[in-house]
Amino acid sequence: MNKTLSRLALAPLCALSVLAAFGAPSALAAPVDDAVVELQRDWEVVRYQTPAAEREKRFEVLATKAHKVSESFAGRSEPLVWEGIIVSSWAGEKGGLGALGLVKQAKGLYEQALQIDAKALEGSAYNSLGVLYYKVPGWPLGFGDKAKAKELLQKALAINPQGIDPNFFYGEYLVETDRLGEAVTYLERALQAPPRPGRQIADTGRREEIRALLAKIRSN
């Protein structure tokens, strides 16, 4: 249980910059865009540039900030997606049974986002929720379901077929389900994904994860 949940330090991200995903900003859209970009940047710093011993507390604090953003922009899916990403990452750092409640909280946030706008942030809610379904234990401990994970991850890929995160996480899912040959195809495609404007920290960190997973596959 601890080992499974400890691997929840995930954060599926949109394949394009948040602003690009929103399209041309309007006067009304700009405040939510700015707030979401700030959450995104804060998450990247904690996830990829903060010592492991400090990440759990930092994500806890960031989750509170993200919840306030979601409340401030009720009816928008983007803050809910990022609140879910941050809560999922907090769960991953926390690990163990104590993380399961956070994982369920993240699941609810993604589901709310999908009800509002499933295609927001290039389908990131589908991707993020799909990752939870293949990483979380199944019944009776959790809601994990490999078939449901596949369905959600494929929806994310259909929306953003060249994105680094949809390809990485589908590749990881294939590794989890012992389909290593297929996994390599998606992981290599993830490595070839175009850089995301303003996302250098996340792109660098994700590519390191991709290379590590490919090396593990090829060493078997």
Q: Report pLDDT digits (tens) over 102-123.
A: 999 999 999 999 999 999 999 9
pLDDT of 76: 96
Domain of 125, in residue numbers = 2-219
Distance, CA of 175 to CA of 190 (rounded, Å):
14
Distance, CA of 127 to CA of 140 (rounded, Å):
24
At 35 the three-state DSSP class reads helix
For residues 85 and 92, the answer to whether their CB atoms sit within 8 Å is no
At 136 the three-state DSSP class reads coil
Q: The domain that contains 121 carries what CATH number?
A: 1.25.40.10
pLDDT of 140: 86
CA distances from 73 to 58, 78, 91, 96, 129 (A): 23, 9, 24, 32, 21
How confident is the prediction for the chain on average, in pLDDT?
87
pTM of the model: 0.84
pLDDT classification of 27: cutoffs 50, 70, 90:
very low
Number of Cβ within 10 Å of residue 159's Cβ equals 20
Distance, CA of 52 to CA of 9 (rounded, Å):
11
Among 13-27, 41-55, 165-179, the range scoring the smallest mean pLDDT is: 13-27
CA 174 to chain CA centroid, nearest Å: 17
Distance, CA of 207 to CA of 220 (rounded, Å):
20
Residue 204 has pLDDT above 90, yes or no: yes
Residue 88 has pLDDT above 50, yes or no: yes
For residues 66 and 28, the answer to whether their CB atoms sit within 8 Å is no
CA distances from 105 to 84, 85, 88, 108, 170 (A): 8, 11, 8, 5, 23
Cα diameter, the chain: 53
- Could you tell me which of 108, 12, 21, 110 has the C-alpha nearest to residue 29? 21
User: What tokens does 103 get?
Assistant: 């994982």
User: What tokens does 71 get?
Assistant: 């409340």
pLDDT classification of 31: cutoffs 50, 70, 90:
confident
How many structural domains does the chain have? 1
Distance, CA of 114 to CA of 85 (rounded, Å):
14
Give the rounded percent of residues in the chain with a pLDDT score beyond 70: 87
